[in-house]
Amino acid sequence: MKRKVTLKQIAKELDVSISTVSKALRNSPEIGEDTKQKVQAFAKFYNYKPNNIALSLKNKKTKTIGIIIPEIVHHFFATVISGIEQVANENGYNVIVCLSNESFDKEVINMEILANGSTDGFIMSLSKETQQKKDFHHIQEVINQGMPVVMFDRITNDVLCDKVIIDDQLAAYEAVDFLVAKGFKNIALVTTVDYVSVGRLRTDGYINALNDHDIPVHEDMIVKIEDIEGCASKIEALLKDKRPDAIFAVNELFAVTSIKLAAKMGIKIPEELSVIGFTDGIISQFSSPSITTVSQNGIYMGGRAAKMLIERLEMEEEEENEQYRTELIETHLVERESTSTM
Amino acid sequence: MKRKVTLKQIAKELDVSISTVSKALRNSPEIGEDTKQKVQAFAKFYNYKPNNIALSLKNKKTKTIGIIIPEIVHHFFATVISGIEQVANENGYNVIVCLSNESFDKEVINMEILANGSTDGFIMSLSKETQQKKDFHHIQEVINQGMPVVMFDRITNDVLCDKVIIDDQLAAYEAVDFLVAKGFKNIALVTTVDYVSVGRLRTDGYINALNDHDIPVHEDMIVKIEDIEGCASKIEALLKDKRPDAIFAVNELFAVTSIKLAAKMGIKIPEELSVIGFTDGIISQFSSPSITTVSQNGIYMGGRAAKMLIERLEMEEEEENEQYRTELIETHLVERESTSTM
């Protein structure tokens, strides 16, 4: 019996990207005729079934929700899953999780697998690479097939669907405002590169807060981290050359790394340096000093996302054109040992 | 169109357990005739499809591996998933994760969902409740249907399948031996209740190490934790009443909680109390003092489990009777700031 061929294998065989194969199979005008014919012929020969099989299954409910997240080593995504699980189970739904590992290709493959009759709908947070590429055809595809999608945290405005987010800009603004109120002026930012939507929004919040307090924004007080491996040397240089009195870090790994590096350099926390993180995970709670942080409430966020998806799954047909909603989750600052007054 | 009925709904409707429904549908002799007939009639009426649908799909490879784990808030399971992902992807397999949340019922439901044509085989770690109930029929079931299962970490000897474990007893022995070599005699153990297999084995290792060094084992130096919520008061009582000079904790949450509570009571670490944990996760690395720990190498463990499963999935039929293997993963001690010499 012929084994089922996957998108990935077709892409490899024809030496094109997974995205190209996926688009060619959907007859996208973005793909040249030649490539389209080649891909379609290949797929036909190997009896490839694209996930529009989901169409025919539209009325066969699986009572299962598919979650696609970038990774789970960050505690935040683990808490969101817990929140989704809880509300899903209360409503008689099960949950399946797939990881994109920050890869666009894996995100596409995961959607293909789960849309293939395994789930009724999706809750997802975009991979870094997807945000960078701005290619969302795989998500649009499942929505067109009638499978609802709820995005959370890392979202895009290019896809119309329900969304659950925190007001990242406001949350960052409030964190920096808190530092200014404590008397700090020389405040550094440790953030992600700009294509990560939440990183960019938190950066904007930092800049707005400084502007509103008439504190000049210095580009060299803003450190943008591409990946966690390169993070230490950049933060070390910041601490050494700029001697900030406070740091706002856009996630807890950046925060705890700043604290560890400062301690190694003999900078006392919080006496000589105050640090605020983002995401109230186990690192913030258990590190010493424990870390003052913006709490995102991942469990609540997951629960709300599950509620939105289930409501949409259980809508009667006449309601189905109801407008998509974007729900803002409130954050709050948890004050701990890593901050003091100037 | 009738919605698909689930095991859970049948159980609720008939006011019996999910396990009973599952067994009744398989005509198990453990279930009374009356119940069997009732369950089977109900399932038939609602057109319930048990997962022996997987049988007919035996030759239709999905190239997907199903993972069922108790929870993901513990960093250990997250690292195992990363390890599985890596090896699976290298071999052209995808990965789907379901959480049992330490519940037997959820474990059964997850297996049912994933065995229903979504995956070729399973990598799993048992839920606490499954270990307590010693009911493994759902696992035996999928194996009988020709879907291979690899168990890791929390395993049972009651099911014949491939397994990847660390030698928990030896690892615990070595940790306690390390403390004795440092001059400590008054060594306490913070462990789980006995039905958690890894907790019991680590407890045995602790006792053996003390015995081999002719140090008496005092029952009141052994604290057995049922759930994390009740953990603080028990450890506090231990620190106050027994004043150990060293603690061996069977996971990192117990270790960091011991350290935090000791610090609160004014006990200096490592000067007045040495602490060793188990699992080299982010807590051990980032807490201050950083924690000396038995490293389980979850990534390697996950990789080995994936390798074993894929090998079995890709066996030719004539090899299929090859004996099951249990692979022992080596652990090693990572020495950090939480231990000193007596």
pLDDT in tens, B37-71: 888 888 877 766 654 444 334 456 788 999 999 98
Interchain proximity A92–B8, CB inside 8 Å: yes
Our CA-based measurement puts residue A36 at a distance from the nearest CA of chain B, in whole angstroms, of 24
Bridge-based pairing state of the strands A187-192 and A246-249: parallel
SS in 3 state form for chain A? CCCCCCHHHHHHHHCCCHHHHHHHHCCCCCCCHHHHHHHHHHHHHCCCCCCCHHHHCCCCCCCEEEEEECCCCCHHHHHHHHHHHHHHHHCCCEEEEEECCCCHHHHHHHHHHHHCCCCCEEEECCCHHHHHHCCCHHHHHHHHCCCCEEEECCCCCCCCCEEEEECHHHHHHHHHHHHHHCCCCCEEEEEECCCCHHHHHHHHHHHHHHHHCCCCCCHHHEEEECCHHHHHHHHHHHHHHHCCCEEEECCHHHHHHHHHHHHHCCCCCCCCCEEEEECCCHHHHHCCCCCEEEECCHHHHHHHHHHHHHHHHCCCHHHCCCCCCEEEECCEEECCCCCCCC
For residue A133 the two structure tokens come to: 């590429």
Give dist(CA B43, CA B36) in Å, integer: 10
A228 located within any domain: yes
- What is the rounded end-to-end Cα distance, in angstroms, of chain B? 72
Beta carbons of B196 and B131 less than 8 angstroms apart: yes
A53 located within any domain: no
Of the pLDDT bands very low, low, confident and very high (cuts 50, 70, 90), residue A321 is low
Query: Greater confidence, A327 or B46?
Result: A327
Query: Greater confidence, A52 or A77?
Result: A77
Instruction: Provide mean pLDDT across the span A155-176.
Output: 95
Same domain, A320 and A307: yes
Beta carbons of A201 and A195 less than 8 angstroms apart: no
Structural domains in chain A (count): 3
A72 contacts on B by Cβ (under 8 Å):
72, 78, 81
Instruction: Provide mean pLDDT across the span A231-248.
Output: 95
Residue B262: phi and psi, rounded to 5, are: -60, -45
Residue B36 sits at the vertex; the CA angle it makes with B34 and B37, to the nearest 5 degrees, is 70
When CB atoms are compared, the residue of A61, A72, A75 closest to B81 is A72
Query: Greater confidence, A26 or A163?
Result: A163
Same domain, A145 and A258: no
Cβ contacts of A309 within 8 Å, gap of 6 or more: A65, A121, A122, A123, A148, A150, A162
Of the pLDDT bands very low, low, confident and very high (cuts 50, 70, 90), residue A27 is confident
Give dist(CA A214, CA B326) in Å, integer: 65
Report the amino acid identity of residue A22.
S
Beta carbons of A155 and A130 less than 8 angstroms apart: no
Q: What is the pLDDT of residue B321?
A: 63
Same domain, B123 and B22: no
Interchain proximity B64–A113, CB inside 8 Å: yes
Size of interface A-B (CB pairs under 8 A): 105
Chain B residue with Cα closest to A80: B73
B211 located within any domain: yes
Same domain, B174 and B283: yes
**In Å, how far are A210, A239, B229 from A218, measured between CA atoms?**
10, 15, 46
Same domain, B179 and B257: yes
B256 located within any domain: yes
Q: What is the pLDDT of residue B242?
A: 94
Bridge-based pairing state of the strands A187-192 and B121-124: unpaired
Q: What is the pLDDT of residue A2?
A: 42
Give dist(CA B53, CA B135) in Å, integer: 22
- Count the helices and strands in chain B (H runs, E runs): 14, 12
Instruction: Provide mean pLDDT across the span A28-45.
Output: 83
Residue A164 buriedness (CB in 10 A; 0-12 / 13-18 / 19+): buried
Give dist(CA A300, CA A83) in Å, integer: 6
Strand partners, B64: B94
* pLDDT above 80 (res B329): yes
* pLDDT above 80 (res A129): yes
Report the amino acid identity of residue B163.
K
Q: Which residues of B281-309 are buried (b: 16+ CB within 10 A; e: fewer)?
A: bbbbbbbbbbbbbbbbbbbbbbbbbbbbb
Residue B215, SS3? coil
Tell me the per-residue pLDDT of A260-286, one tens digit each, with 9 for 90 and over. 899 889 999 999 999 999 988 888 888
B319 located within any domain: yes
A342 located within any domain: no
CATH of the domain at B241: 3.40.50.2300
Continuous segment of H or E residues that includes residue B41: helix B33-45
Beta carbons of B221 and B244 less than 8 angstroms apart: yes
Provide, rounded to the nearest whole percent, the portion of chain B with pLDDT above 70.
Answer: 93
Same domain, B144 and B93: yes
Residue B275: phi and psi, rounded to 5, are: -130, 130
B52 located within any domain: no
Interchain proximity B6–A99, CB inside 8 Å: no
Tell me which of B63, B81, B116, B264 to substitute to probe the interface with A (most A C-beta atoms closer than 10 Å). B63
Of the pLDDT bands very low, low, confident and very high (cuts 50, 70, 90), residue A320 is low
Q: What is the pLDDT of residue B60?
A: 63
A260 contacts on B by Cβ (under 8 Å):
286
Q: What is the pLDDT of residue B319?
A: 67
Same domain, B270 and B310: no
Same domain, B303 and B161: yes
What is the per-residue DSSP string for B125-176? ---HHHHHHT--HHHHHHHHTT--EEEESS--TTS-SEEEEE-HHHHHHHHH
Laid out side by side, the sheet with A187-192 consists of A222-225, A187-192, A246-249, A274-278, A292-295, A332-334
For residue A128 the two structure tokens come to: 């870094």
CA B159 to chain centre: 15
Our CA-based measurement puts residue B210 at a distance from the nearest CA of chain A, in whole angstroms, of 30
For residue B35 the two structure tokens come to: 């119940």
Tell me the per-residue pLDDT of A183-211, one tens digit each, with 9 for 90 and over. 999 999 999 988 888 889 999 999 999 99
Q: What is the pLDDT of residue B47?
A: 67
pTM of the model: 0.76
Instruction: Provide mean pLDDT across the span B314-328.
Output: 80
Of the pLDDT bands very low, low, confident and very high (cuts 50, 70, 90), residue A115 is confident
Across chain A, mean pLDDT equals 88
When CB atoms are compared, the residue of B64, B109, B286 closest to A256 is B286
Residue-range definition of the domain harbouring residue B325: 60-165+298-329
Between helices A252-264 and A231-242, what is the axis angle to 10°? 50
Residue B5 buriedness (CB in 10 A; 0-12 / 13-18 / 19+): middle
B32 located within any domain: yes
Tell me the per-residue pLDDT of B203-225, one tens digit each, with 9 for 90 and over. 999 999 999 999 999 999 999 99
Tell me which of A4, A46, A58, A96 to substitute to probe the interface with B (most B C-beta atoms closer than 10 Å). A96
Same domain, B282 and B197: yes
* pLDDT above 80 (res A105): yes
Same domain, B135 and B172: no
Give dist(CA B252, CA B231) in Å, integer: 13
Chain A residue with Cα closest to B84: A99
Bridge-based pairing state of the strands B162-166 and B222-225: unpaired
Tell me the per-residue pLDDT of B140-151, one tens digit each, with 9 for 90 and over. 989 988 899 999
Q: What is the pLDDT of residue A194?
A: 84
Bridge-based pairing state of the strands B149-152 and B162-166: parallel
B8 contacts on A by Cβ (under 8 Å):
92
Beta carbons of A234 and A222 less than 8 angstroms apart: no
Same domain, B12 and B108: no
Same domain, A307 and A288: no
